[in-house]
């Protein structure tokens, strides 16, 4: 901060501005002028207080003493008694005798009792508005709107319509030639978003004014300042060369962060929210590719050939079973589709393929005889193939060829599997799928 260099021969009420602060010469010393706060809104006129009661009439003072009697004249001699004359007319009244002197002032009587309360007085008229507080300087308004120095004592805006103006241009020197540049450099020092306010008004008519906010940091143009602003209220324009006064009120800095308040009590448990709607069916995941073929196991050694068994007698021919039925259903799935129509008698007589890959029973449901439901929705365009197997009527008893090489044979009456066994191999034959399975036994009889 620069050192203070007060003028050596100031006149009464002269101002000195330095480091964003102002001092005034009071005739004996430079007195610091506090930074003005923002003008508060004038409060409404209070109601007139009630009139106090009239005191009681004081006691009358004591009667003053009567003045002294004047001296009586001497008695004249008694005349001869004459005859009684006629009644004379009424004589005129004698002159008023002089008043006696005023008696001494009687003692003051005791104070009377408190009178009754008077009626409520009518409300007083509204007081006049207070002035906009702050540091005030004398300037002359210019209607020029260019971003240039308005000249000594000049102030102007970037738009003649003050409601659309965004910058004020104000010279470092006011009309009196006082340099207020150091003051203008500090009006944006507040840490608040709104740095302050300023008011421009006609010097001779305080009702002709406009109020603005200071919206951000000011710019020093060398001999003038550019102050970002927004009009809040008041006049929308001033005339060229109009004599105006500019009053600045800087906003205080933001206060320190308050201490953390105590934790409030836990609120009551809110009622349960309504059940949300069921989310949309997610898209089906892609079917994984088939795993690689496992390596073939080593060839087991060939067991010895068993003795040839005797030929058994031919069994009786079983009755002809009824016709076998096989049906295929083919679909191209829509996105997320899970249900596909198919007719079947038993959920175990069905095969389901997804893009050519056979699904396991855990990946679909087939229980109602009319449809198949996938556990996961299909992807758009997926190929769904459903094959159902159906035989009408039980299979007749089957004769078999029996030899000493055959340990056991079993024909499944449900017509799905036929099992038979030899000393070398065990076979399974699925009649519906037309597939034969063989398993090499690990030992022989």
Q: Which pLDDT tens digit goes with each residue over 99-112? A: 677 777 878 878 87
Whether the predicted pLDDT of 295 surpasses 80 = no
347 and 246 together in one domain: no
Residue 5: pLDDT band (50, 70, 90) is: confident
Question: Do 336 and 414 lie in a common domain?
Answer: no
381: in domain: yes
Does residue 71 fall inside a structural domain? Answer: no
Tens of pLDDT, residues 192-206: 889 999 999 999 998
Task: Examine the domain organization and report whether 435 and 334 are in the same domain.
Answer: no
Mean pLDDT of the chain: 77
Cα–Cα distance between 169 and 145 in angstroms, integer? 9
Report the relative pairing of strands 425-430 and 435-440 from DSSP bridges: antiparallel
Of 400 and 221, the structure prediction assigns the larger pLDDT to 221
Q: Does one domain contain both 413 and 385?
A: no
Count of structural domains, the chain: 3
Q: What was the pLDDT predicted at 127?
A: 52
In a domain, 416, yes or no: yes
pLDDT value of position 179: 96
d(CA 384, CA 389): 17
Task: Provide the pLDDT for residue 185.
Answer: 93
**Across 360-364, 382-386, 390-394, 434-438, least confident range:** 434-438
pLDDT at 365 exceeding the cut of 90: yes
Q: Kindly write down the DSSP assignment for every residue of 266-311, as one continuous string.
A: PPPPPPPPPPPPPPPPPPPPPPPPPPPPPPPPPPPPPPPPPPPPPP
Highest mean pLDDT: which range of 338-352, 369-383, 400-414: 369-383
Higher pLDDT, 319 or 376: 376
**What pLDDT shows up at residue 414?**
41
Domain end call among 223, 250, 277: 250
* pTM score: 0.33
Q: E-strand spans in 116-159?
A: 135-141, 154-157
Report pLDDT for 101. 78
Domain-located, residue 221: yes
Does the pLDDT of residue 260 top 60, yes or no? Answer: yes
Q: What is the pLDDT of residues 109-165, one digit of tens each?
A: 788 788 788 788 777 766 554 556 789 999 999 999 999 999 999 999 999 999 999
Give the per-residue pLDDT at 373: 95
Residue with tokens 């000393």: 423
Confirm whether 332 is domain-assigned.
Answer: yes
| Distance from the Cα of residue 266 to its chain's centroid | 22
- Over residues 32-85, the pLDDT tens digits come to 888 766 565 666 666 666 666 776 676 666 666 666 666 666 676 766 666 666
Q: Is 19 part of any domain? A: no
What pLDDT, on a 0 to 100 scale, did the predictor assign at position 55? 67
Residue 404: band (very low, low, confident or very high) from pLDDT cuts 50, 70, 90: very low
Same-domain status, 142 and 215: yes
List all residues 6 or more positions away from 268 whose beta carbon is below 8 Å from its beta carbon: none
Do 369 and 410 sit in the same domain of this protein? Answer: no
Q: Both 379 and 423 in a single domain? A: no
Structure tokens that stand for 62 in this block:
């004591």
Residue 95 has pLDDT above 60, yes or no: yes
Residues 333 and 417 in one domain: no
Both 334 and 413 in one domain: the answer is: no
- In this predicted structure, what is the pLDDT of residue 445? 30
Mark whether 419 and 360 lie in a shared domain: no
What pLDDT was estimated at residue 121? 78
Q: Which domain holds residue 374?
A: 324-391
**Are 358 and 431 in the same domain?**
no
* Closest C-alpha among 109, 110, 113 to residue 53: 113
Q: Is residue 44 part of a domain?
A: no
Which residues are registered as beta bridge partners of 170? 155, 225
418 and 364 inside one domain: no
434: left (phi over 0), alpha (psi -120 to 50) or beta: left
**Residue 416 clears pLDDT 50, i.e. is over it:** no
- Asked if residue 174 belongs to a domain, the reply is yes
User: How many Cβ atoms from other residues are within 10 Å of residue 419's Cβ?
Assistant: 14
**pLDDT for 165-189, tens place per residue?**
999 999 999 999 999 999 999 988 8
In sequence order, what E strands does 299-441 have? 324-332, 339-341, 350-354, 357-358, 364-365, 371-374, 383-391, 406-411, 417-422, 425-430, 435-440
Tell which of 367, 391, 415 closes a domain: 391
Predicted confidence at residue 337, as pLDDT, reads 96
- Cα separation, 179 vs 17, whole angstroms: 8
* Per-residue pLDDT, 138: 96
Q: In the prediction, which pLDDT does 177 show?
A: 94
User: Which helix or strand (DSSP H or E) is residue 18 part of?
Assistant: strand 15-18
Would you place residue 436 in the very low, low, confident or very high pLDDT band (cuts 50, 70, 90)?
A: low
Give the pLDDT band (50/70/90) at residue 332: very high
């Amino acid at each position: 901060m620069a050192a203070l260099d007060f003028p050596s021969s100031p006149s009464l009420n002269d101002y000195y501005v330095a480091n964003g602060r102002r001092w005034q010469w009071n005739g004996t010393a430079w007195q610091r002028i506090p930074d003005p706060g923002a003008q508060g809104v004038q409060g409404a006129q209070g109601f007139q207080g009630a009139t106090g009661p009239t005191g009681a009439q004081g006691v009358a003072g004591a009667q003053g003493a009567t003045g002294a009697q004047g001296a009586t004249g001497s008695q004249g001699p008694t005349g001869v008694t004459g005859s009684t004359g006629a009644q004379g007319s009424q004589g005129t009244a004698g002159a008023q005798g002089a008043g006696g002197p005023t008696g001494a002032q009687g003692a003051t009587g005791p104070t009377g009792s408190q009178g009754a309360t008077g009626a409520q007085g009518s409300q007083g008229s509204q007081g006049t508005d207070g002035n906009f507080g702050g540091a005030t300087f004398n300037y002359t308004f210019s209607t020029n709107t260019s971003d240039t120095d308005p000249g000594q004592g000049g102030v102007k805006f970037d738009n003649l319509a003050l409601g659309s103006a965004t910058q004020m241009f104000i010279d470092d020197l006011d009309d009196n030639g006082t340099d207020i540049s150091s003051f203008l450099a500090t009006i944006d020092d507040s840490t608040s978003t709104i740095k302050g306010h300023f008011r421009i008004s006609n010097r001779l008519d305080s009702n002709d004014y406009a109020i603005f906010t200071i919206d951000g940091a000011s710019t020093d143009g060398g001999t003038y300042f550019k102050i970002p602003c927004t009009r809040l209220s008041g006049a929308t324009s001033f005339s060229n060369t109009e004599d105006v006064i500019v009053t600045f009120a800087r906003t205080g800095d933001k206060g320190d962060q308050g201490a953390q308040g105590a934790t409030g009590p836990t609120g009551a448990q809110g009622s349960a929210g309504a059940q949300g709607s069921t989310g949309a069916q997610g898209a089906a995941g892609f079917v994984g590719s088939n795993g690689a073929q496992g390596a073939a196991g080593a060839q087991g050694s060939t067991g010895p050939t068993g003795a040839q068994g005797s030929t058994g007698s031919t069994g009786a021919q079983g009755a002809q079973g009824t016709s076998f039925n096989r049906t295929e259903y083919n679909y191209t799935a829509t996105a997320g589709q899970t249900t596909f129509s198919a007719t079947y008698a038993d959920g175990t007589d069905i095969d389901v393929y997804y893009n050519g890959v056979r699904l396991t029973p855990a990946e679909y449901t087939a229980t109602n005889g009319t449809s198949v439901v996938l556990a996961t929705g299909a992807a758009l365009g997926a190929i769904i193939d459903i094959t159902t197997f159906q035989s009408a009527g039980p299979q007749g008893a089957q004769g078999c060829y029996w030899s000493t090489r055959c340990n056991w044979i079993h024909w499944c009456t449900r017509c799905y599997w036929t099992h038979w066994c030899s000393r070398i191999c065990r076979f399974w034959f699925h009649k519906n799928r037309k597939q034969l399975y063989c398993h090499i036994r690990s030992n022989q009889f």
